[in-house]
A = this chain, B = another copy of it.
Amino acid sequence: MKGKATSFDIAHYAGVSQSTVSRALRGSPLVNEETRRKVVEVARKLNYKVDKNASNLRAQQSSTLAVLLFEDPTSDESQINPFFLSMLGSITRACAKEGYDLLVSFQSSSNDWHADYAESHRADGIILLGYGDYIDYQAKFARLLDTNTKFVCWGANVDGRPELTVSCDNQYGGRLVAEHFIELGRTDCAFIGDASHHSPEFSARFKGFEQRLQDNGKHVSERKMATAISTEESGYQATKSLLANNITFNALFGASDLIAIGAIRALQEAGLRVPHDVSVVGFDDLAVARFCTPPLSTVQQNTTLAGQMLVANLLSLIGEQEVDLANSILPPQLIVRQSSR
């Protein structure tokens, strides 16, 4: 036999028809147990593997999901936010468990937008990940909905379609941070992030934070807020600009760990001690958080669970089944380390 074995080769050697080979290998209940055993053995001997291109073409499905990782266009190319890498890990695992393959793609600019993973039948559905600009997202969502592509999205809401989103309860996470600062007696707070509608996750975190402070008769002065994207450098610069304007505060909430880490660097360079002069809390609980100086207090998002929910919900969507909405908003958890007290 030259080249790879086909189902016809197996049929030949097993003394059955090609249709029976196909049924036997796919576990059809129609096939006699004896026959199946024979087929499976021949297949193993000839090292036969079903050609996925052929079966996918015929069955009109791909048993493949695609994950698109949007990178903030303003962040530098080389460093992907570890948070999403961690999500990627758990998504990969969840896919494997469900028998799906996973295509991965980074979307750095808007022009190489790969909605066509689905349209070209390479994937049955798409998972969207990233701290992108929310406004940009809406156009992409429209395109996906338009082509009837199955997709789920991390973090950002699709108008009127809650079943398409899995997210952390960002607002509750923000409340936890405020509560922590209140307990510490540190209510002169700064916020570094982007509380605008461009970043729905960051602004939800801010909203919860601000609300909890207001419950306590406090609030974040607009002067003590600085915009940053989710990078160490951006957090550093934003904090520096605050300090350069002689803005003072005794607590700082970074909308992500990378931002908080950059903020700590800016504070320390300015001669301020963390947590003695300023308590700092981040958001994400990256692996680095434990190893910072000082170790960073933060709000942990459960990426394992998040990945599992994204995959589970996407498969529900593909299978036209009910999505588990109740578990699609994941509760975050405050982790107190040495950067706040």
Binds B, one of A116-124, A159-167, A315-323: A116-124
A49 and B116 contacting across the interface, CB-CB below 8 Å: yes
Q: Of A10-18, A33-41, A103-111, A194-202, which stretch is located at the interface?
A: A103-111
How far is it, in angstroms, between the C-alpha of A4 and the C-alpha of B148 when the chains are bound?
Answer: 10
- List B contacts of A122 (CB < 8 A): 52-53, 101
Measured CB to CB, the closest approach of chain B to A62, in angstroms, equals: 7
Q: Within the oligomer, what is the number of copies of this chain?
A: 2
Q: Show 20 residue pairs from A and B whose CB-CB distance is below 8 angstroms, ordered by the A residue.
A: A51-B120, A51-B121, A52-B120, A53-B62, A54-B57, A78-B89, A78-B90, A80-B85, A82-B85, A89-B106, A92-B104, A92-B105, A93-B106, A102-B105, A103-B103, A261-B291, A288-B291, A291-B291, A291-B292, A292-B293
**Chain A contact patch, size range:** 35 or more
Give min CB distance, A130 to chain B, whole Å: 13
Q: Inside 8 A of A51's CB, which chain B residues have their CB?
A: 57, 120-121
CB < 8 Å: which of B47, B57, B80, B85 contacts A57?
A: B57
Question: In the complex, what residues of B have CB within 8 A of residue A112's CB?
Answer: 96
Cβ of A248 under 8 Å from chain B? no
Q: Is A79 an interface residue (CB 8 A)?
A: yes
Q: How far is the CB of A149 from chain B (nearest CB, A)?
A: 11
A300 at the interface (CB under 8 A from B): no
Q: A47-B119, A53-B57, A96-B112 are in contact. Are A287 and B79 (CB under 8 A)?
A: yes
A104 close to B106 (CB less than 8 A): no
Instruction: Report Cα–Cα, A36/B149, bound state, in Å.
Output: 28
Residue A50 CB within 8 A of the other chain: yes
- Decide if A304 is an interface residue (CB 8 Å cutoff): yes
Question: In angstroms, how far is the closest chain B Cβ from the Cβ of A315?
Answer: 18
Bound together, the chains give a CA A101 to CA B103 distance in angstroms of 7
| A235 CB, min distance to chain B CBs, angstroms | 12
A252-272: contact bitstring with B at CB < 8 Å (1 yes, 0 no)? Answer: 000000000100000000000
Residues of B within 8 A of A96 (CB): 105-106, 112
Nearest residue in B to A77 (C-beta to C-beta)?
B93
Residues of B within 8 A of A120 (CB): 49-52
Contact flags (1/0) for A70-99 with B, using CB distance below 8 Å? 000000011110100110111011001000
Verify if A327 is at the interface (C-beta below 8 Å from B). Answer: no
A293 to chain B: which residues have CB within 8 Å?
A: 291-294
Q: Are A287 and B116 also in contact (CB < 8 A) when A103-B101, A105-B96, A106-B92 are? A: no
Known A-B contacts A101-B105, A103-B102, A293-B291; the reply to A89 vs B85 at CB < 8 A is yes
Interface flag for A214 (CB, 8 Å): no
Q: For the complex, what is the distance from the CA of A82 to the CA of B286, rounded to whole Å?
A: 11
Query: In the bound complex, how far is the Cα of B292 from the Cα of A158, in angstroms?
Result: 39
Among B53, B80, B82, B90, the residue within 8 A (CB) of A56 is B53
Most buried by B among A62, A88, A105, A122: A122
A147 within 8 A of B: yes
